[in-house]
């Protein structure tokens, strides 16, 4: 593959804060490069420099002559009162970078770009588009320009599962090269063929591996292990040299002077290595109450219409401690509406929602409307004066801020000055102060970096209460949820073991799963459990817990380094996982059946 462009010596700072230094990178024809890194590492800034949107403090970016560069930002903007057709037409209007073509060819290019993005109505106005369709339009606008290389910043944000699959297919089969900043691990593993991580832990500030994201993780682990061994060996050598110096060796001979100089060099090298490898990790720990109630919340035959469309009809399910329910569906199918019903913010058209007494519900809002952007970071973190109360303990706000990777110098900055990822961490910090029986999380992963996502996953997996999760992050959904509920937006709802079963069912590649508990009764019907059924019902919670622990143990085994690198063992784990997950699903279905008999 020929080299399309490269950068050398790129350095960028904002004020006194150094983002990155002396970054060097090359982009080849047909390459699909995934660019990852922690929030604040400078991924978006580097992308904008490469795309020619901003300048670096030093260094150079060069592309092969006549290379066409496209750029899709995190938040796309469009002129008001324009149709989607007019947006594309303006993008390819004759100008400095667009050759003059006849109207027939121009119309064909516009139709092709919109068609590839999934648009069927070209008269739609931009202000009427959802976030997902605005994302598609932004990508279509760049595709219409026939780029040689396309830079995309968090392109899966706002896209539903269908939109993500569309984007995966588009980039995987495109003739142009692409550089993508993303935190979606399944997306990275599906699309990219090269991964680069920005991090000061690496010499040169960048670590790059040819291959998919899963291969990158293997190479990264090997590198960090080697670097850790190097740091340990270096620390031992420095300790020996320090002991020699303390003994008061006189630097009268050339050999002694050389050893002193060498000791200084080793100390500087160790100090640099320790500085580069020092990392802060967000500490996330949602607090569950000590409630022992078996049934926290039950919905019975609920229905809801919005805008003349039935989102779900006769939907019933129960949330108990340990339930981690994922909500699946395309944009507009009612996932957020259902969360708002569960929280008590919205009512239902029919059916009932029963909540346990004094139930505590914590709700993470996708739009983050709980945050006041005019407040300072100190206020946003939930501080009362100089302290916050977490798990009945007073913590100084500076220490609480540090837990979420903020320093004390930021406490009086306005919330509006924070990045999207920083605002997400603030909202998580605020919600953690509230003990919860049920967590309702609506797209909590937007703008979070991968290390924070991994900590969030661990916290949610350990949460002892009930959890209802809406997310487009398939990796988090697959790891955290114990069962998923698919909404089709036309009134239908079905339970599935996991995301993949839902996706296969949508594609017609799997047997129809069991529907969510839906009962239509002309009159109340009371039934008593038999002796054996009563015993079964009493033991059901323990059986489900044991079955879920068995599934988690298999998943943990699958993610262990020795199994990931061993094909036959990994396949054996997959073969064990499917029946184990089906067993959990069957137990939940049986539990719902026994509970229905008691009502």
Task: Determine phi and psi for 419, rounding to 5 degrees.
Answer: -75, 170
Spell out the SS3 assignment of 316-353: EEEECCCCEEEEECCCCCCHHHHHHHHHCCCCCCEEEE
**Strand locations in 159-255, DSSP E?**
177-181, 194-198, 206-210
Across 118-133, b (16+ Cβ under 10 Å) vs e yields ebeeeebebeebeebb
Q: How far is CA 529 from CA 152, 265, 526, 535, in A?
A: 58, 78, 10, 9
pLDDT at 143 over 80: yes
Higher pLDDT, 267 or 115: 115
pLDDT, tens digit, 9 for 90 and up, residues 567-586: 677 777 777 877 887 787 78
Across 354-381, b (16+ Cβ under 10 Å) vs e yields ebbeebbbbbbbbebeebeeeebbbbbb
Nearest to 213 by CA among 232, 199, 236, 195: 195
Looking at residue 125, what DSSP letter applies?
Answer: B
Mean pLDDT value across residues 312-338: 91
The percent of residues in the chain predicted with pLDDT above 70, rounded, is 82
pLDDT at 100 over 50: yes
Confidence category of residue 243, pLDDT binned at 50, 70, 90 = low
Is residue 37 within 8 Å of residue 183, measured between CB atoms?
A: no
> Crossing angle for the helix pair 131-143 and 161-173, nearest 10 degrees?
10
Flag the least confident range among 29-33, 127-131, 202-206, 590-594: 590-594
pLDDT at 514 over 80: no
The pLDDT mean for the chain works out to: 82
pTM: predicted TM-score of the whole model, two decimal places:
0.71
Strands 206-210 and 194-198: antiparallel
pLDDT at 438 over 70: yes
Q: How far is CA 493 from CA 79, 303, 490, in A?
A: 38, 11, 9
Burial of 531 (0-12, 13-18, 19+ CB in 10 A): exposed
- Residue 574's contacts (CB-CB under 8 Å, 6 or more residues apart) are 558
pLDDT at 526 over 50: no
Q: Return the bridge partners of 23, or none.
A: 10
Q: Extract the tokens encoding 404.
A: 């979420």
DSSP for 535-547, please give it.
Answer: HHHHHHHHHHHHH
Q: What angle do CA 489, 491, 492 make, to 5 degrees?
A: 90
pLDDT at 330 over 70: yes
pLDDT, tens digit, 9 for 90 and up, residues 551-563: 888 877 877 777 7
Chain position carrying tokens 């000055």: 417
Confidence category of residue 374, pLDDT binned at 50, 70, 90 = confident
pLDDT, tens digit, 9 for 90 and up, residues 456-495: 888 888 888 999 999 988 888 888 999 999 998 889 999 9
């Amino acid at each position: 593959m020929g080299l399309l462009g490269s950068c050398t010596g790129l350095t960028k700072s904002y004020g006194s804060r150094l983002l990155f230094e002396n970054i060097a990178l090359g982009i080849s024809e047909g390459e699909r490069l995934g660019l990852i890194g922690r929030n604040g590492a400078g991924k978006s800034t580097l992308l904008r420099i490469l795309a020619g949107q901003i300048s670096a403090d030093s260094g150079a970016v060069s592309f092969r002559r006549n290379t066409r560069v496209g750029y899709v930002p995190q938040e796309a903007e469009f002129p008001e009162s324009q149709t989607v057709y007019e947006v594309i037409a303006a993008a390819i209007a004759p100008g400095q970078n667009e050759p003059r073509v006849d109207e027939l060819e121009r119309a064909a290019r516009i139709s092709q770009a919109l068609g590839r993005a999934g648009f069927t109505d070209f008269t739609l106005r931009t202000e009427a588009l959802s976030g997902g369709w605005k994302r598609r339009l932004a990508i279509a606008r760049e595709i219409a320009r026939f780029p040689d290389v396309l830079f995309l910043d968090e392109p899966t944000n706002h896209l539903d599962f269908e939109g993500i699959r569309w984007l995966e297919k588009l980039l995987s089969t495109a003739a142009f090269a692409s550089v993508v900043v993303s935190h979606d691990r399944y997306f990275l593993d599906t699309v990219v063929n090269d991964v680069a991580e920005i991090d000061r832990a690496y010499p040169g500030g960048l670590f790059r591996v040819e291959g998919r994201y899963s291969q990158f993780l293997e190479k990264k682990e090997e590198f960090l292990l080697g670097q850790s061994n190097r740091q340990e060996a270096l620390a031992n050598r420095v300790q020996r040299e320090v002991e020699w110096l303390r003994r008061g060796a006189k630097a009268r001979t050339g050999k002694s002077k050389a050893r002193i100089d060498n000791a200084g060099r080793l100390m500087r090298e160790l100090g640099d290595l320790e500085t580069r490898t020092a990392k802060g990790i967000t500490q996330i720990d949602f607090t569950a109450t000590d409630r022992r109630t078996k049934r926290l919340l039950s919905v019975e035959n609920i229905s809801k219409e919005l805008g003349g469309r039935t989102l779900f009809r006769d939907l019933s399910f129960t949330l108990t401690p340990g339930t981690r329910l994922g909500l699946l569906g395309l944009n507009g199918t009612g996932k957020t509406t259902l969360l708002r019903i569960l929280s008590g913010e919205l009512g239902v058209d029919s059916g009932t929602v029963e909540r346990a007494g004094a139930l505590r519900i914590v709700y993470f809002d996708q739009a983050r409307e709980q945050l006041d952007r005019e407040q300072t970071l100190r206020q946003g973190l939930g501080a009362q004066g100089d302290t916050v109360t977490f798990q009945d303990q007073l913590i100084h706000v500076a220490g609480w801020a540090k837990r979420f990777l903020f320093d004390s110098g930021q406490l009086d900055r306005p919330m509006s000055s924070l990045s999207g990822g920083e605002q997400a961490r603030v909202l998580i910090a605020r919600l953690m102060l509230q003990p919860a029986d049920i967590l309702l999380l609506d797209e909590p992963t937007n703008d979070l970096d991968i290390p924070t996502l991994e900590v969030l996953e661990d916290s949610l997996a350990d949460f002892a209460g009930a959890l209802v999760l809406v997310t487009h992050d398939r990796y988090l959904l697959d790891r955290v949820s114990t069962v998923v509920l698919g909404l089709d937006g036309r009134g239908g709802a079905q339970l599935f073991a996991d995301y993949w079963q839902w996706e296969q069912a949508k594609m017609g590649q799997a047997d129809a799963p069991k529907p969510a508990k839906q009962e239509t009764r002309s009159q109340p019907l009371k039934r008593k459990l038999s002796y054996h059924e009563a015993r079964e019902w009493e033991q059901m919670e323990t059986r489900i817990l044991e079955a879920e622990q068995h599934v988690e143990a298999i998943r943990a085994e699958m993610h262990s380094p020795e199994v990931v690198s061993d094909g036959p063992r990994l396949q054996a784990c997959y073969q064990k996982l499917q029946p184990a997950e089906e067993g959990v699903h069957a137990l939940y279905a049986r539990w719902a059946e026994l509970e229905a008999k008691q009502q």
